């Protein structure tokens, strides 16, 4: 079993108006085999947490720690984190012109594993994973995310999750912008990845809808850069009924 | 790819991709221009008819049709750098090619070929000289006046290569840095098929004229590789005459040299001609690579496709691409598209890109142009790194993919492999 541990994390970004704190003391422990849902209103810092775990240069960690089985994740470069077993399914995957999906997937797999995948089984694995995610075979020859629809981009993020087999996956609003069918396909992919290997999942979402297809073990509610409430799956049901209003009201009263 | 609209990348003409099929003032009958300037005026005639984003109505050299051509260097005024043709070129780095006698020793040429192909060294009085080209600028005319001997490659009628690696290679090696002139003529006779490679190496300060004749029904590919040493200065006017139903493929590869300026021009001698022009350039810190091409659609039912792609890295890396395409009144049924893409890999590099399309008849199949200059940006880098790739692996993946579109057009496996290796070398030698 592996453990991803986030301790008292403070993160800020530099804006034109100066330094702006976003995460204000977040602590969270995720073990492989567990699914944690992070929910919260817009601007609560959910995506900042995702990007900080992956090491996006825009975010400055002011204090606190992130460790993977005791190893200091914050000391690792972006690519080292990926090789250590962290995967971020991005909210807005970028286009990489001139690089075909086939070439990209093979290069990334080689980088993550430290050796090239066996060509025959790899090609078969890619084809099978694409078929399960209802990705048309011709996408293999298209450039990474170039001209992909929102739903196609998200399915390709999950394709990578299934092929790269990380220890921990952070899914940054993978459900937003998906119709019900695409949501089901994507959720099935995440569930497959979780079953095949003891994946630890950090599922970041604004909506409860995806939690009908991916069952969380733990739910954490983010408000204003902190975890406002934690609980089991029943907390998600409550949020479905009540929304985030009661946290925001409490927050406003405190301020 | 990110469209750059600010700072280093300056897009000379239409800022992003554009596609021109309908043009103001144009109908099925052709252009409907009012007589603003009488034909006798210097600001009239062809000049006002330009659909040019680069120059502007009223500037005499704003139309490519009106550009001066002459075998005599004295007909061209001294270059000031204000001319449309020279505005991007750092004249100080031309090492005198535009103003001194080009009496240095011409680069040495060694030949690799199959038996059927003839390669001769001929005197400048040879009757074939001047059959495909006429200088379009002062530096080219200076070389025309100065070369002592020319190298003539002849592909016999109906020649077919033995296999895909059966190419004729002229390795052109610079001997010293005294300004010199060089002249090469490639003649593909009727219904022949051939690939000719002009492989420039070593160090030189040279102005070169390359004439290419593609007779009716022939298919000629000419690959001009500029893999010079760091201090070389090279101007090369490469002009082709494309016969009836002939195919011509031109591939320019600029990798090495201090200042390299290639000016390919294609003219059609009959209907049904098909021209493909590809370019690949990779400029490092301080290098100036300029490519200015001209496709002169003067015959009906001809086709042209232009694809140039460039990568830039390092401080002061500068590339220029100017694509002039002229569809003359008589060139009905023309089908043309030109495209330039640049990928800026580091700060401090600059890519100028100017597509110019002039159309004098509305009766065409299609005409379009596109230009885009993008930066390999931090978000792309983050995405690839988050997939386990180290920064250099990520950059390589992107550049390789970007330039491969041009490399794979060469269709000579050995040469493609060499260019892929050269791109790898550029990447690892860079400031990455």
pTM of model > 0.80? no
Looking at the predicted structure, is the pLDDT value of residue B432 above 80? no
Looking at per-residue pLDDT, the higher value among A143 and A6 belongs to A6
d(Cα B6, Cα B3) in Å, to the nearest integer? 9
The per-residue pLDDT for range B207-259, each reduced to its tens digit, is: 999 999 999 999 999 999 999 999 999 999 999 999 999 999 999 999 999 99
| Residue A114 sits at the chain B interface (C-beta within 8 Å) | no
Is the CB of B383 less than 8 angstroms away from the CB of A96? yes
Tokens found for residue B171 = 């390795």
Domain positions in chain B:
26-383
Which residues are registered as beta bridge partners of B322?
A: B292, B354
Size of interface A-B (CB pairs under 8 A): 82
Tell the residue number behind the tokens 């694409």, with chain if given.
A130
Tell the residue number behind the tokens 């086939």, with chain if given.
A102
Best of A92, A93, A98 to disrupt the B interface (most B CBs within 10 Å) is: A98
User: Which residues have a Cβ under 8 Å from the Cβ of B82 and sit 6 or more positions away?
Assistant: none
> How far off is chain B from A126, nearest CA to CA, in Å?
16
Share of chain B above pLDDT 70, in %: 85
Looking at the predicted structure, is the pLDDT value of residue B8 above 60? no
Nearest CA-CA partner of B87 in B179, B18, B10: B10
Is the CB of B402 less than 8 angstroms away from the CB of A56? no
Q: Determine the angle formed by the axes of helices A101-113 and A150-164, rounding to 10 degrees.
A: 30
Using CA coordinates, name the residue in chain A closest to B1: A97
Share of chain B above pLDDT 90, in %: 75
The per-residue pLDDT for range B252-308, each reduced to its tens digit, is: 999 999 999 999 999 999 999 999 999 999 999 999 999 999 999 999 999 999 999
Average pLDDT, chain B: 87
d(Cα B55, Cα B49) in Å, to the nearest integer? 12
User: Which residues have a Cβ under 8 Å from the Cβ of A118 and sit 6 or more positions away?
Assistant: none
pLDDT of residue B26: 46
The per-residue pLDDT for range B72-122, each reduced to its tens digit, is: 999 999 999 999 999 999 999 999 999 999 999 999 999 999 999 999 999
Which among A78, A83, A111 is the nearest to B382, CB-wise? A78
Is the CB of A104 less than 8 angstroms away from the CB of B387? yes
Is the CB of B386 less than 8 angstroms away from the CB of A55? yes
Contact (Cβ atoms closer than 8 angstroms) between residue B277 and residue B248: no
The per-residue pLDDT for range A42-70, each reduced to its tens digit, is: 889 999 999 999 999 999 999 999 999 99
pLDDT of residue B400: 87
Looking at the predicted structure, is the pLDDT value of residue B30 above 80? no
Indicate the DSSP class of residue B88. T
DSSP string, B173-229: EE--SS-EEEEEEEEE-TT-EEEEEEEEEE--EEEEEEEEEE-TT-EEEEEEEEE--
Contact (Cβ atoms closer than 8 angstroms) between residue B432 and residue B345: yes
> How far off is chain A from B63, nearest CA to CA, in Å?
34
Looking at the predicted structure, is the pLDDT value of residue A137 above 50? yes
Q: Domain A3-254: give its CATH code.
A: 3.40.50.300
Is the CB of A108 less than 8 angstroms away from the CB of B402? no
pLDDT of residue A251: 61
pLDDT of residue B54: 41
Looking at per-residue pLDDT, the higher value among B352 and B38 belongs to B352
The per-residue pLDDT for range B147-206, each reduced to its tens digit, is: 999 999 999 999 999 999 999 999 999 998 999 999 999 999 999 999 999 999 999 999
**Measured between beta carbons, which residues in chain A are less than 8 angstroms from residue B339?**
none
ipTM score for this prediction: 0.95
Using CA coordinates, name the residue in chain B closest to A170: B386
The per-residue pLDDT for range B309-333, each reduced to its tens digit, is: 999 999 999 999 999 999 999 999 9
The per-residue pLDDT for range A156-206, each reduced to its tens digit, is: 999 999 999 999 999 999 998 899 999 999 999 999 999 988 999 999 998
Domain positions in chain A:
3-254
> How far off is chain A from B383, nearest CA to CA, in Å?
7
Contact (Cβ atoms closer than 8 angstroms) between residue B335 and residue B303: yes
- Would you place residue A250 in the very low, low, confident or very high pLDDT band (cuts 50, 70, 90)? low
pLDDT of residue B167: 96
A91-95 mean pLDDT: 93
d(Cα B363, Cα B411) in Å, to the nearest integer? 34
Is the CB of A78 less than 8 angstroms away from the CB of B386? yes
> How far off is chain A from B376, nearest CA to CA, in Å?
9
């Amino acid at each position: 079993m592996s453990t991803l541990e986030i301790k008292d994390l403070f993160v800020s970004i530099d804006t034109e108006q100066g330094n702006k704190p976003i995460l204000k003391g977040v602590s969270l422990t995720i073990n492989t085999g567990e699914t944690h849902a992070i929910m919260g209103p817009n601007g609560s810092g959910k995506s900042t947490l995702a990007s900080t775990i992956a090491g996006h240069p825009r975010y400055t960690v002011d204090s606190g720690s992130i460790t993977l089985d005791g190893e200091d994740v914050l000391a690792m470069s972006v690519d080292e984190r990926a090789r250590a077993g962290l995967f971020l399914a991005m909210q807005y995957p970028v286009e990489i012109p001139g690089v075909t999906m086939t070439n990209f997937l093979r290069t990334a797999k080689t980088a993550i594993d430290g050796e090239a995948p066996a060509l025959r089984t790899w090609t078969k694995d890619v084809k099978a994973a694409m078929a399960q995610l209802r990705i048309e075979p011709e996408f293999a020859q298209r450039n990474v995310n170039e001209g992909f629809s929102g739903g196609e981009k998200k399915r390709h993020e999950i394709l990578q999750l299934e092929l790269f087999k990380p220890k921990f996956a952070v899914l940054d609003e993978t459900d937003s912008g998906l119709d019900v069918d695409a949501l089901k396909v994507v959720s099935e992919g995440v569930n497959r990845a979780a079953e095949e290997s003891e994946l630890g999942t950090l599922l970041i979402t604004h909506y409860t809808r995806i939690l009908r297809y991916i069952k969380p073990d733990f739910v954490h509610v983010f408000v204003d850069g902190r975890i406002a409430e934690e609980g089991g799956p029943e907390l998600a049901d409550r949020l479905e009924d009540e929304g985030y209003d009661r946290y925001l009201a409490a927050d406003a009263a405190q301020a | 790819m990110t469209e750059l609209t600010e700072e280093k990348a300056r897009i000379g003409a239409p800022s992003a991709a554009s596609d021109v099929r309908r043009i103001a003032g144009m109908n099925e009958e052709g252009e409907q221009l009012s007589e603003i300037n009488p034909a006798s005026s210097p600001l009239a005639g062809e000049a006002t008819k330009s659909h040019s984003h680069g120059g502007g109505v009223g500037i005499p050299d704003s139309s490519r049709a009106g550009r001066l051509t002459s075998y005599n260097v004295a007909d061209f005024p001294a270059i000031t750098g204000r001319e449309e043709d020279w505005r991007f070129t750092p004249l100080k780095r031309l090492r005198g090619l535009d103003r001194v006698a080009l009496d240095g020793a011409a680069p040495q040429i060694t030949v690799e070929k199959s038996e059927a192909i003839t390669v001769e060294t001929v005197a400048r009085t040879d009757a074939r000289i001047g059959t495909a080209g006429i200088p379009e600028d002062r530096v080219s005319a200076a070389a025309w006046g100065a070369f002592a001997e020319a190298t003539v490659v002849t592909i016999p009628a109906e020649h077919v290569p033995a296999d895909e690696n059966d190419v004729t290679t002229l390795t052109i090696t610079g001997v010293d840095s005294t300004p010199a002139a060089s002249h090469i003529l490639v003649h593909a006779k009727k219904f022949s098929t051939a690939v000719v490679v002009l492989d420039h190496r070593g160090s030189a300060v040279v102005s070169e004229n390359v004439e290419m004749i593609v007779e009716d029904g022939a298919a000629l590919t000419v690959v001009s590789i500029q893999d010079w040493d760091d201090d070389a200065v090279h101007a090369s006017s490469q002009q082709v005459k494309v016969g009836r139903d002939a195919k011509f493929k031109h591939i320019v590869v600029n990798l090495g040299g201090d200042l390299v300026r290639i000016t390919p021009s294609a003219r059609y001698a009959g209907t049904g001609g098909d021209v493909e022009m590809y370019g690949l350039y990779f400029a490092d810190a301080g290098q100036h690579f300029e490519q200015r091409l001209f496709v002169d659609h003067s015959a009906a039912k001809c086709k042209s496709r232009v694809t140039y792609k460039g990568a830039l890295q390092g401080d002061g890396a500068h590339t220029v691409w100017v694509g002039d395409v002229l569809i003359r009144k008589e060139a009905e049924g023309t089908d043309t598209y030109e495209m330039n893409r640049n990928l800026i890999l580091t700060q401090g590099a600059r890519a100028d890109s100017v597509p110019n399309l002039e159309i004098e008849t509305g009766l065409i199949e299609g005409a379009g142009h596109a230009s885009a200059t993008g930066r390999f940006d931090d978000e792309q880098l983050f995405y690839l790194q988050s997939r386990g790739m180290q920064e250099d692996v990520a950059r390589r993946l992107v550049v390789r993919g970007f330039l491969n579109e041009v490399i794979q057009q060469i269709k000579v496996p050995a040469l493609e492999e060499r260019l892929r290796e050269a791109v790898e070398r550029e990447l690892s030698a860079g400031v990455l």
